[in-house]
């Protein structure tokens, strides 16, 4: 199988996000950026499939600024074969990304697209579903286990009542959840080797896609500060507080 893994450059999950003083967005100046954690899980799964002989080639694609090459190189160091950066300075939105990924899929012809369930910067949780819909391909979202059996992909997903397993005919789109695997760290020799792996740079116009944002951000604000909790001694005290202080009973 040939696998396509889209990875997004996002603010690192350890960084305390600060809102810009003009409320136009989040302050990204001098802030550590990383590969979206769910995409790291997708790369890891792809590499495991290749190691198991289920997959033969892994192509990693990112749509973002020049610096997104760092995240592609990380994926190459983890074991992907080839990278593609579609360069844009614009903030990407799920529909634009899905439209562009569709064009890339038509050119690369992968059997399976494995991607994160959600990007931790915009928390949209839309791109995989939109891509599957645009391609008319089956989708298995929030995968906690992926297996290839009898030419189909079996995806186990966590739902409210337990685990659900869906079987997808190839080609298909799968999105990854946290429990799928633990991504490896790239070793130094592999980081050095990754520098020699091919990484193409293209423009959205090469695919005839315009990434112009369709959404308008009105303002971005901090969430209200959390108030400290208190410990109560008895149930009666709790009920009293809920009635008389919180006014919720």
3-state secondary structure of 9: strand
126-145 residues in contact with ligand AMP (CB under 6 A) are: 126-128
From residue 26 to residue 65, the character string flagging contacts with ligand AMP as x (rule: CB under 6 A) and all else as - is: ----------x-xx----------------------xxx-
**Any contact of residue 6 with ligand AMP (CB under 6 A)?**
yes
In angstroms, the CA 110 to CA 103 distance is 12
In angstroms, the CA 126 to CA 118 distance is 7
Least distance to ligand AMP, CB of residue 241, Å: 39
**Any contact of residue 10 with ligand AMP (CB under 6 A)?**
no
Among 11, 97, 105, 112, binds ligand AMP (CB under 6 A): 97
Least distance to ligand AMP, CB of residue 5, Å: 8
Helices (H), 163-204: 188-194
Q: What pairing do the DSSP bridges indicate for beta strands 2-6 and 112-116?
A: parallel
* Distances from the Cα of 138 to the Cα of 91, 118, 144, 159, 179, angstroms: 28, 18, 17, 18, 22
**Any contact of residue 211 with ligand AMP (CB under 6 A)?**
no
Structure-block tokens of residue 230: 């208190």
Q: What residues line the site for ligand AMP (CB under 6 A)?
A: 6-8, 36, 38-39, 62-64, 92, 94, 97, 115-116, 118-119, 122, 124-128
């Amino acid at each position: 199988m040939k696998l396509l893994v889209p990875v997004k450059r996002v603010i690192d999950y350890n960084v305390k996000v600060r809102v810009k003083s003009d409320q136009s967005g989040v302050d990204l100046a001098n802030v550590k950026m990383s590969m979206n954690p769910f995409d790291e899980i997708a790369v890891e799964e792809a590499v495991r499939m290749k190691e198991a002989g289920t997959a033969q080639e892994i192509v990693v694609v990112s749509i973002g600024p020049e610096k997104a090459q760092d995240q592609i190189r990380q994926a190459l160091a983890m074991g992907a074969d080839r990278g593609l950066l579609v360069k844009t300075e614009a903030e990407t939105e799920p529909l634009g990304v899905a439209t562009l990924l569709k064009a890339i899929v038509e050119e690369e012809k992968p059997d399976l697209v494995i991607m994160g369930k959600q990007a931790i910067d915009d928390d949209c949780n839309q791109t995989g579903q939109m891509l599957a819909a645009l391609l008319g391909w089956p989708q298995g979202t929030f995968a906690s286990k992926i297996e290839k059996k009898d030419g189909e992909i079996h995806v186990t997903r966590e739902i409210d009542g337990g685990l659900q397993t869906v079987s997808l005919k190839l080609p298909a789109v799968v999105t990854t959840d946290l429990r799928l695997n633990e991504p490896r760290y790239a070793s130094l020799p592999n980081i050095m080797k990754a520098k020699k792996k091919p990484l193409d740079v293209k423009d959205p116009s090469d695919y005839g896609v315009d990434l112009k944002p369709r959404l308008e951000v009105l303002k971005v604000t901090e969430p209200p500060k959390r108030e400290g909790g208190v410990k109560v001694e008895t149930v009666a005290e709790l009920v009293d507080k809920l009635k008389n202080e919180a006014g919720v009973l």
